[in-house]
Every structure is written in C-alpha cells, then in structure tokens.
Amino acid sequence: MGEMSNNNIKVHLNEPEIIFLHADLQQYLSQSCGAFVCMAAQEVIEQRESNSDSAPYTLLKNHADRFKKYSAEEQYEIDFQHRLVNRNCYLDKYGDARINASYTQLEI
C-alpha cells in the first residue's frame, strides 16, 4: 500500500469535529477515499487550532492529490482498513454512497 502506515489509518474524526468542515469535504469525497479525506480533515482542524495560515482547501487538495497516486485496488483497501479500525468514523454516516455501498454487505 505504498506509503500508508497503520498509524495514519487510525487517524479519524468523530461527528462533532466534522460538522464545520463538512461543506469543504464534500467536493473531495468524489476524488479521495474516506481515509484520506478524514486524515485531511484532521490536519485542517489541527492547523486551525494552531492558528496556522494554511488554507483548508489547500490541505484538502493536497491529500486528494496524494491519494490519486494509488491504484483503484489500493484506494479501496486503504478505505476498508480505515473503516475496519475506526468503527465510528463519520464517513460511515456522511461518506460517499458509492463507497459505503461497497462495504454494506461485508461482515467485519
């Protein structure tokens, strides 16, 4: 899976943290798997909390662009592992319906 590490897969957001970023994230859900969008959102929150000048859209775009380097098979594996580790990830509620449908029938 390239440069992904298990530690990165475990980074996720819960619903209260994601509400204010939801609009920003929507446009990236179609370009990036849930794990990467979630990690991008976490980075945006950390940047805002530290009063950084980094623009949220730039951070999100960087994660989406990084994710595009993976093959389709790797993308789904990264997303699957993220959801497996993070059973309460907000993406199960707000995520891309096409991706969610792929996991609905899995018994994990």
- Using alpha carbons, select from 91, 85, 76 the residue that is nearest to residue 37: 91
Tokens encoding 6? 């298990």
Tokens encoding 90? 């907000």
pTM reported for the whole predicted model: 0.46
The residue type of 103 is: Y
Locus of tokens 């950390």? 46
For position 79, what pLDDT does the model report? 76
Confidence of residue 3 (pLDDT cuts 50, 70, 90): very low
Whole-number Å distance between alpha carbons of 37 and 105 = 23
Whole-number Å distance between alpha carbons of 95 and 69 = 21
Domain edges within the chain: 6-104
Tokens encoding 11? 């980074």
For the segment 16-28, what is each residue's pLDDT rounded down to a tens digit?
555 455 555 555 5
Q: Among positive and negative, which fits the CA dihedral 30, 31, 36, 37?
A: negative
